[in-house]
Amino acid sequence: MIWNESKECMSRDELQALQSKRLVKTVNRVYHNVEYYRKRMQKEGIEPGDIRGIEDLSKLPYTTKDDLRETYPFGLFAAPQSEIVRIHASSGTTGKATVVGYTRKDIDIWAECVARALTQAGVTRDDTVQVAYGYGLFTGGLGAHYGAEYLGARVVPQSTGNTKKLVTMMKDFGVTAIACTPSYLLHIAELLEEMGEIDNIKLKAAVCGAEPWTDNMRRQIEEKLHINAFDIYGLSEVMGPGVACDCQYHKGLHVYEDHFLPEIISPETLLPVGENETGELVFTTLTKEGLPLIRYRTKDLTSIHYDQCECGRTLARISRFTGRTDDMLIIRGVNVFPSQIESALLEMAGTTPHYLMIVDRVGNLDTLEVQVEVEERFFSDEIKELESLTKKISHVLQNAIGLAVKVKLVEPRTIERSMGKAVHVIDNRKLV
Ligand code: DLL
């Protein structure tokens, strides 16, 4: 819940007044502190004074991942470096990462948002939360970690990797809540089943996100582990996990609208679509200092609903995501763009620009095989040459995307040519 000064749940009118006040402040902040935004607004003839509240939002220009790339690494930061206390980054469409900076206040608000999500999942200071998102530049690990600490729960900062050890600790430490990707949780559940340990753990809740999943998958997780599972959403550019999360009614994810102002637009016309209609989710941050973003196009497809939820929250809800408008894949929680593979291959001698990514789900874990056409000579030379090139390409690709890749080298003209747009991805995963 978001409370007003009389400690009542904030009405939508009160919320909108707060959003308007914060929007005006954010617009002034980017205009005065970020040259890129100032120039863009000047080009479009907009002065900060033209924005008096959320009703003027549509006068402002959109921001995209390209803008972040163009100003790499720190060009959109709105706080001096001395005030930035943390940097995270996520994959960009080419080699360049998208870099995000947080001030101390940003980190506190982020922790509070994640704490809200955990609270929606029934987690309290009496819980032990195992964080099994990756720690590092990815926002999942540290985001969930600080949120759980903010709540006063005990945190087990597991990260990803050694699942057997994770399961042992889950049992030995009496872990009651876990934060990880839904596919990884299914994998954990399978291991627990195999080890005959399901009834020996104390887990009661899971907060899962960072990749698309279905309501069916949620039920599978809940039944296998005898827990309640919740859907948490976020993206590094806007903050990280904790932009929205569903409640016990699972009727969409409540957006923390006092910090993130959502819009749904048509990706074709760029005009807002109506309530309940599917379109691209756009966010304007309302309190961020380090990297405030104006009308950031997330590329995520969803719809928005403003009617009050059965839980009593007045916050808008977004539906489970139905896809993206770009070609970004999420493999084991890692964002991968085909163009990253392409540019890495282009840098290597002996390869051709013809490649095919095959994504599969083996058990509950995603796998990625990349088939690469290489010059004929590698097939006539000794097998050793082919093996060493395979190793080299695996290494380069793994470095480029941050994910283990199985590389299969194929002879020239093996990969099917397309008459139209080249097909670079076959995604065999079926989300059921
Ligand atoms: O994935 C932040 C996060 C970490 C969210 C842990 C939830 C839990 P990025 O790496 O920048 O940040 O990837 C953001 O992941 O635009 C969506 O396409 C996708 N995504 C995140 N959460 C969900 C979700 C983190 N609950 C991108 N359902 C986003 C579907 C999700 N897709």
Q: Domain count of the chain?
A: 1
Q: Within a 10 A sphere around the Cβ of 347, how many other Cβ atoms?
A: 10
* pLDDT of 293 over the 80 cut: yes
Domain of 413, CATH number, reads 3.30.300.30
Q: Is residue 27 part of a domain?
A: no
* 241 Ramachandran zone, left/alpha/beta (phi>0; psi -120 to 50): beta
Q: Is residue 38 part of a domain?
A: no
Which of 211, 245, 301, 403 to mutate to test ligand 1, by most ligand atoms within 8 A of the CB atom? 211
Tokens 């397309």 identify what position?
Answer: 418
Contact by Cβ (8 Å): 119, 103:
no
Which of 88, 233, 321 to mutate to test ligand 1, by most ligand atoms within 8 A of the CB atom? 233
Measure 411 CA to ligand 1 centroid, in angstroms.
37
Q: Is residue 399 part of a domain?
A: yes
Q: Is residue 5 part of a domain?
A: no
Q: Outline where 177-272 has alpha helix (H).
A: 182-194, 215-225
Q: Is residue 280 part of a domain?
A: no
- What token pair was written down for 314? 């007045």
Which of 129, 135, 207, 330 to mutate to test ligand 1, by most ligand atoms within 8 A of the CB atom? 330
Separation of alpha carbons 311 and 118, rounded Å? 15
Measure 297 CA to ligand 1 centroid, in angstroms.
14
Q: Is residue 345 part of a domain?
A: yes
Q: Is residue 377 part of a domain?
A: yes
CB distance 98 to ligand 1 below 6 Å? no
Predicted local confidence at residue 94, as pLDDT: 63
CB distance 127 to ligand 1 below 6 Å? no
The predicted model scores a pTM of: 0.92
CB distance 366 to ligand 1 below 6 Å? no
pLDDT in tens, 13-60: 999 999 999 999 999 999 999 999 999 999 999 999 999 999 999 999
Measure 301 CA to ligand 1 centroid, in angstroms.
12
Lowest mean per-residue pLDDT among 37-41, 175-179, 344-348, 390-394: 344-348
Predicted local confidence at residue 379, as pLDDT: 83
Q: Say what the alpha-carbon torsion angle 322, 359, 353, 403 is, to the nearest 10 degrees.
A: 100
In this structure, is the dihedral angle defined by the CA atoms of residues 270, 274, 280 and 283, taken in order, positive or negative? positive
Q: Within a 10 A sphere around the Cβ of 116, how many other Cβ atoms?
A: 22
Q: Is residue 278 part of a domain?
A: no
Domain interval for residue 347: 329-431
- What token pair was written down for 181? 């990707």
Measure 212 CA to ligand 1 centroid, in angstroms.
8
pLDDT in tens, 132-159: 999 999 999 999 999 999 999 999 999 9
Higher per-residue confidence, 291 vs 214: 291
CB distance 235 to ligand 1 below 6 Å? yes
Distances (CA, A) of 338 to 61, 125, 264, 278, 296: 28, 42, 26, 25, 22
CB distance 233 to ligand 1 below 6 Å? yes
CB distance 133 to ligand 1 below 6 Å? yes
CB distance 234 to ligand 1 below 6 Å? yes
The three-state secondary structure class of 200 is helix
Distances (CA, A) of 306 to 74, 254, 316, 347: 35, 10, 5, 49
